[in-house]
Amino acid sequence: MAKLNQAETIAFSKIYSLGASRGDVTVTNDDIAGPINSSDEWIRQRTGIVTRMRASKDRSLMDMAVEASNEAIQKAGIKPSEIEAVIFSTITHPYQTPSAAALLAELVGANPAPAFDISAACAGYCYGIAQADSLVRSGTAKYVLVVGGEKLSDFVDPTDRSISFLLGDGAGAAIVGPSDSPGISKSVWGSDGSKWEAVGMTGSLLDFRDGKGSWPTLVQEGQSVFRWAVWEMVKVAKEALEVAGVKPEELSALVTHQANERIIDEMAKQLALPDSVVVAKDIITTGNTSAASIPLAMHALLAEGRIKSGDLALQIGFGAGLAYGAQVVVVP
């Protein structure tokens, strides 16, 4: 019987670099308060958001993804042709098929790398890192490009008070590759389909086609999502720390999905993080960017000098599905 060859496994992986691209239009609370009969003060109190960055009509999701990816590739010190897999986490690619990842691979020079999209909304980036970690350590791919990107402004209703006023646009990218020491902990991830309708769309594309509804936009059950995020996701965060073998005081940063400042503050409180741990709050100026929010927030902390390469950060994403994912990573 012939002997079957399998890929040689690798012990460890790490994030080599990050790239970021934000929307080019600053949208203030006053700009959006009128249609939802609200105010700058109310929005700040309920969400912590002061501005959100949105992309102009001529700036596409792919434009932002390419920009973020090119930065990550350059900082990683690798050639685009060395990328052996491309993962794009997004819910706002305007085509059902082909994938956004396949086009991104072509545009950044990674063709013919295998490429696929992930639809896990605000948990998408953590899902991507989990998959990249597995691809690298299994020997299936040496370097993996992971992108979380959204142009959520294409799917908002200016009169919606549940979620639309939170949302911004952007893309964050990471290069994952082999390491001599552990750089990405075991991921804690999952979903709760019993709450499938808690965050989603106002209707389907079939409804829109058949004249049964308007263009689908995002909507959420705010209170139930808030309670789930605050109480259930803290359990996931604690489990991620436990499986990583890391104590809260050993962290340098907590980088959650930038959903709402109140959720972020409550999670930090329940984790009993010391003052030495930086809590990312990119939401204040960027808004909620779904799959892009974690890499954008970590990129900002690095750019501001609030964390440094080699630090430990807990990242946790949670959102529509309801889906969630978390891991402790070494900051690139």
| CA–CA dist 59, 62 (Å, integer) | 8
Strand order in the sheet with 12-22: 12-22, 169-179, 143-151, 83-89, 115-118
pTM of the entire structure?
0.97
Residue 191 belongs to what H/E stretch?
strand 188-191
CATH architecture for segment(s) 12-179: 3-Layer(aba) Sandwich (3.40)
Indicate the domain borders of the chain: 12-179, 188-330
Number of other residues whose CB lies within 10 A of the CB of residue 247: 10
Q: pLDDT value at position 88?
A: 98
Q: What would you report as the CA-atom Rg of the chain, rounded to the nearest whole angstrom?
A: 19
**Identical fold between 12-179 and 188-330:** yes
pLDDT digits (tens, 9 = 90+) for 166-187: 999 999 999 999 999 999 999 9
Three-state SS for 127? helix
Angle at CA 120, nearest 5°, toward 115 and 121? Answer: 110
Q: Name residues of the chain where pLDDT drops below 50.
A: none
CATH of domain 188-330: 3.40.47.10
Q: pLDDT value at position 1?
A: 86
Active-site positions read 122, 257, 288
Q: pLDDT value at position 25?
A: 98
For 37, the token pair is 């009969």
With b for 16 or more beta-carbon neighbours within 10 A and e for fewer, the 283-319 pattern comes to beebbbbbbbbbbbbbbbbbeeeebeeebbbbbbbbb
pLDDT digits (tens, 9 = 90+) for 221-257: 988 999 999 999 999 999 999 999 999 999 999 999 9
Q: pLDDT value at position 21?
A: 98
